[in-house]
Amino acid sequence: MIQIKPPIVASQPKAHRLKRILNRPMNFLLDMRDLQRIAIALSKGAAMMGARSIDLTLPATWEFSGFSQNGEDGILDVLRKNLLSSNRYFIEVGAADGIENNTGWLLVAEKYNGMLIEGSAQLVERAKRTVVGYSIGAECHNMFVTKESVRDMKEMALHHDPDVFSLDIDGNDYYIAQAILENGFRPKIFVVEYNSVYGAERSMTIEYQPDFVVTSAHPTHLYYGVSISGWRKFFDGYGYRFVTVDRNGVNGFFVDPEFFDKSFLDGVKGLTFADNQSQLKKFRTPSENQFSLIAEQMFVSI
């Protein structure tokens, strides 16, 4: 009689096993809440999408919010539908838990393939347990993105010309966007967060710090990111065209004109600047007055 030895399983430290066991009830509760958030996002987005009266010349009429915090879902919806070619692939850097971001609608509702990048291991695990399963070609990676690690991100990506690339890391966004394009990425639609504290005219960003964290950079949490004027100069240098910012003053949208009909882009009359509504509510004063709170910090002109 042949005896078959059981497979050798590497033992885990008791403390690690205990932590996993204790985390199960909390993870279950988080997953139930996240699944409810997904259901709400889908129903809210569907209702808002259907209620729009779209004017292709006015991006403000494109907006709706399902998974996005502002009107990004709607702006991306119209831009995607006007692409001359599509690979149905996205990349998002700063994806959080995969639910409240700029590509959640693409992943869950549109079944896009794509890659979510997030610096928090806990948020990545939550995304893997919930949203990633909605699309067979979606994946989520734990990575704190720096100029150097963009090369690793390129090796991980299935496409270097995604339909949509969203960048929102509240910090070194300018330098990461530069590394993304210099390393051979060429998104058709590029969504970037801008910081309205700089106002409409200043063309500037923060100094590069590989370990930058917005919550510890300055007590106001206003010292981060790039001005919208800075973004426009940056993307113009790479042959992109500015489309609009969202009405809540958070994101700027840029496109590669090669993938759009010229008459469509020429007809768009986008919003050029809006105060960040969250910062406006917090400080009760417009961006010009907010800037005085961080004026002594170190900046780089673009």
7 belongs to a structural domain: no
2 belongs to a structural domain: no
292 belongs to a structural domain: yes
Q: Look up residue 70 and give its two tokens.
A: 């502002």
- In the chain, the number of structural domains is 1
Q: What is the CATH number of the domain that holds 175?
A: 3.40.50.150
5 belongs to a structural domain: no
9 belongs to a structural domain: no
Predicted pLDDT at 44: 97
DSSP 8-class letter at 207: P
Residue whose token pair is 């950079």: 217
1 belongs to a structural domain: no
Angle between helices 121-129 and 14-51 (to 10 degrees): 60
Q: Tens-of-pLDDT digits for all 302 residues of the chain?
A: 444 444 444 445 666 665 666 677 888 888 899 999 999 999 999 999 999 999 999 999 999 999 999 999 999 999 999 999 999 999 999 999 999 999 999 999 999 999 999 999 999 999 999 999 999 999 999 999 999 999 999 999 999 999 999 999 999 999 999 999 999 999 999 999 999 999 999 999 999 999 999 999 999 999 999 999 999 999 999 999 999 999 999 999 999 999 999 999 999 999 999 999 999 999 999 999 999 999 999 999 99
Amino acid 36 reads: Q
Predicted pLDDT at 29: 87
Q: Which domain holds residue 137?
A: 14-301
Nearest to 107 by CA among 30, 192, 41, 31: 41
CA distance 279 to 275: 8
Rounded to 10 degrees, the C-alpha dihedral 290/296/298/299 comes to 40
Residue 207 CB coordination number (10 Å) = 12
6 belongs to a structural domain: no
178 belongs to a structural domain: yes
